[in-house]
A = this chain, B = another copy of it.
């Protein structure tokens, strides 16, 4: 009972603070939300909430603001996921369905998410696992430099530049192409190593060093956890929350330029099958201690194709943001996944 009202007070504080960005006091709270009790009572509850670490006051004799812990409780127990309106869903769909290729899908998604949530959006390029080789193309860029393009049957395309020690002519390239494709096309990822290691023996001696290099590149591409690409948009939105970040904006931008950091943030939400929220220090990134990350995976199946999410101030409309992220992820998943 009493417990219930306290939580209600916490919710009211979070909601008001998210809206106004000002510490919220007992009087305003009792008025704006019809809690049915007087400001004095609210004060007592606030006092208790502060004791438990859910809220804090920036200065003595100011209103209260939620702490990390307070936001966490709010997200876990006090907020549902605000459903998007029909119009919003339609807008998402129509914005995405004009996409012509993979790059386009990812770019549109990330822009859409940034616009929608008015925050920084991040989308991971889809990664398809357990693929087999479809085709290898070799292009002569200059006598000593070759471009190798590797295509898998899931549609992943990898490019590698190969330096050759000896000059190579078009005929040789053509020969290389044939050799590589004969030996490798259709090979599954797991079987690739043997096929690859057998490669040099199939070729003319003078080409072997070159083929060995290429074989190495193929292996790297298929076996190594590839360096994953991500797209980002809406960094301008960070300046909107200038009050929340103050001078730390710099370090936030720096952190967001680190692929590794982003991958960790977004990637960890990939396979949870739900929208996850990391608040403040929960991000495990010091520069992002004043931000919150809302992320999820997209794509059907037991494993997601990739992750996407937004980074914004802790003072964020969580129910709405979570709904928006979930909705965009759903549409993108449908667009890219099996029908």
Contacts and interface: CB of A to CB of B under 8 A. Distances in A.
A336 B141 CA distance: 8
Please indicate which of the listed interface residues A142, A154, A257 has the most CB atoms of chain B within 10 Å of its own CB: A257
Interface in A115-167: 134-135, 137, 139-145, 147, 149, 151-155, 157-161
A51 interface: no
A171 to B, nearest CB: 14
Contacts of A159: 101-103, 155, 157
Q: How many copies make up the complex? A: 2
Contacts of A267: none
Given A141-B154, A143-B339, A154-B139, A239 B257 contact: no
A236 interface: yes
A239 B233 contact: no
A144 B335 CA distance: 11
Contact of A254 (B100, B140, B152, B236): B236
Nearest to A239: B250
A161 B147 CA distance: 23
Nearest to A177: B135
A99 B163 CA distance: 11
A111 B183 CA distance: 38
Contacts of A250: 236, 239-240
A253 interface: yes
A310 to B, nearest CB: 15
A169 B59 CA distance: 68
A105 interface: yes
Nearest to A140: B153
Interface string A236-250: 101110000000011
A234 interface: yes
Please indicate which of the listed interface residues A99, A149, A240, A254 has the most CB atoms of chain B within 10 Å of its own CB: A149
A161 B253 contact: no
A235 interface: yes
Contacts of A251: 236
B233 A257 contact: yes
Interface in A188-237: 217, 229, 233-236
8 contacts: A101-B161, A105-B161, A134-B137, A134-B139, A135-B137, A149-B149, A235-B253, A239-B250
List the 5 shortest-distance A-B pairs measured between CB atoms, nearest first. A236-B253, A147-B155, A239-B250, A236-B254, A142-B338
